[in-house]
Amino acid sequence: MYDGGKIITGIIIFLLFATFPFYYNIGKAHVKPDPKLDTPVIKQLKEKKCVESKAYMRANHMQLLDKWRNQALREANRTYRNEEGKLFEISLQNTCMRCHSNKQKFCDECHNYAEVKPYCWDCHFVKEAKEGGAAK
């Protein structure tokens, strides 16, 4: 091999660099996101159920919110009938956040973990913002 030493050194440096995130994080505690459902409104609910099943909401809440937004704003359909036939007013701020008033412990918990930054809160209010500083 021509220039074998240089090539192998180069490969080793590259591997060290490319795998840096792995060995840098070895041994560090892996904190799972733990969204909290203990807001006063949720505690008072007899049947603790979101607009759809927990599994559906966990996997697809973003698609549902996207549909909600387009239907409410563009099609003038401001009421959602869920799988069970129950009716909900379509409103992130007034329906979702009424129960999930703990944005930092609910929304942010997973969003931060997954490093997603939805810009909902640039415009929509969170009630807790009043008590605890910035709304964003």
Partner 1 sequence: MSMDRREFLKIAGLAGLGLGIGAGASGWIFSRGLEASDFIPSPGALTAKRWAMVVVLSKFKTEDDYKRVIKACHKFHNVPDIGNPKDEIKWIWTDTYEHVFVGQENEYLPEAFKEKPFPLLCNHCTNAPCVRVCPTKATFKRKDGITMQDYHRCIGCRFCMAACPYGARSFNWRDPRPFIKETNPTFPTRTKGVVEKCTYCVELLEKGEMPKCVQASNGGLIFGDLQDPNSEVRKVLSENFSMRRKAELGTGPSVFYIIGGGEEDV
CB of 43 to partner 1, least distance (A): 21
- The gap from C-alpha 118 to its chain's centroid, in whole angstroms, comes to 8
Choose between 35 and 88: whose C-beta lies nearer to partner 1. Answer: 88
Are the C-beta atoms of 93 and 103 separated by less than 8 Å?
no
Choose between 52 and 106: whose C-beta lies nearer to partner 1. Answer: 52
Choose between 6 and 54: whose C-beta lies nearer to partner 1. Answer: 54
Q: Which residues bind partner 1 (CB under 8 A)?
A: 52, 56, 60, 63, 67, 69, 71, 73-85, 87, 89-90, 93-94, 119, 122-125, 127, 130, 135
Q: Which two tokens stand for residue 134?
A: 């910035």
Per-position DSSP letters for 56-122, written without gaps between them: HHHHHHHHHHHHHHHHHHHS---EEE-TTS-EEE--IIIIIHHH---TTTTHHHHHHHTT----GGG
Choose between 12 and 59: whose C-beta lies nearer to partner 1. Answer: 59
> Phi and psi for 31 in degrees, rounded to 5?
-90, 115
CB of 3 to partner 1, least distance (A): 37
Residue from 66, 61, 69, 68 nearest 111 by CA: 61
Choose between 6 and 58: whose C-beta lies nearer to partner 1. Answer: 58
CB of 127 to partner 1, least distance (A): 6
CB of 9 to partner 1, least distance (A): 41
CB of 59 to partner 1, least distance (A): 9
